[in-house]
Each structure stands twice: as C-alpha cells, then as structure tokens.
Structure 1
Amino acid sequence: LYSIGTFYYSANDAIEAINIDDCLTDYISDSAGYLAISEPKVDKLISGFKLLNVSFVSIKFENANKVLFDAVYQHSL
C-alpha cells in the first residue's frame, strides 16, 4: 500500500499535507485489513497513525500482524 511507504519515508508535514479532508485518516480507520503487513516498521506506523488521529473501526485480527496489532491496541488506536 502506498500509504505504508508514506509513513516510512515521509516527514510529518508531508504526511499531514496529503491528508486532505482527512481522506487518509478515514481510509486507514475504515480498513479492517490494514494491519496485515508482513514486516511492519511498527514505530513508524504507530507514529503516523497517531499523527493522523487514526482510530480503527474494526480490525481483522486473524490477518493482522500480531506485533503491529499489539502496538495499535496499546496505543488505543
């Protein structure tokens, strides 16, 4: 997903700039399968989620990367 690379390689101001009308926030928050990432950079993703105020509506636990899921849970995202 393009958004994952954005979190990995973009500065915070660039991430905020592409989040026009909260489009990225809403997309990620509504994507139940978003955490199905094979080798996530957990710190970068959590930082990006917090920056954009992501709040997952639902998560497909069976497909989610467990380390990333635990981090999302710990940060109440």
Structure 2
Amino acid sequence: MRFSFPHSHAFPSGEVRIEDAEATEGNCVVEFSDGVAMLGDWHPDGDAIVLDIPSYRTARGADVEARRWRLVQDQQGRWRSKLCP
C-alpha cells in the first residue's frame, strides 16, 4: 500500500492518495510532495484507514513528530486525513 500526500506533511482535512488498496494491512510506503518517503503502518477501521507515520524531517529540514491519522473518504470520494487523539 502506498499513501501519497500532496504537501510536505499531513494535516487535518488534507488530501491523501491511496494506491494498491487491495494490499493487506501492515507496512506501507508514505510519501510527501517534497520527495521524503518512509515506511509507515496501516490497518482498516470500518470504512476508514488508520495510518501511523513515524517521525521524520522534511526536505527543508523541519522535524515532524510521529502521528496517527484516520483516513476517511469525503462526499466526492477523496481520502482526507483526520488526526487521531
């Protein structure tokens, strides 16, 4: 499974593209528009997906802490990120 974010980081209500939706849960590739990519972990949660992204550094050098995201589809069928508590 591959999760592609069109920005250098994930944020609430941000769009995310998902490839290989038929993959089994577990390890995945998480990539951002600045070229940074890493291994993450995912699992299904009903109609949603829970995605764990480890801490990383953006291409410009900003540190981003590890976060858990719940990915849900909006009314247009696009995947959006919501921060898990």
Give the TM-score normalised by structure 1.
Answer: 0.29
Question: Which structure dedicates a bigger proportion of its chain to strand?
Answer: 2
TM-score w.r.t. the length of structure 2 is 0.27
Which entry has the higher C-alpha Rg, 1 or 2? 2
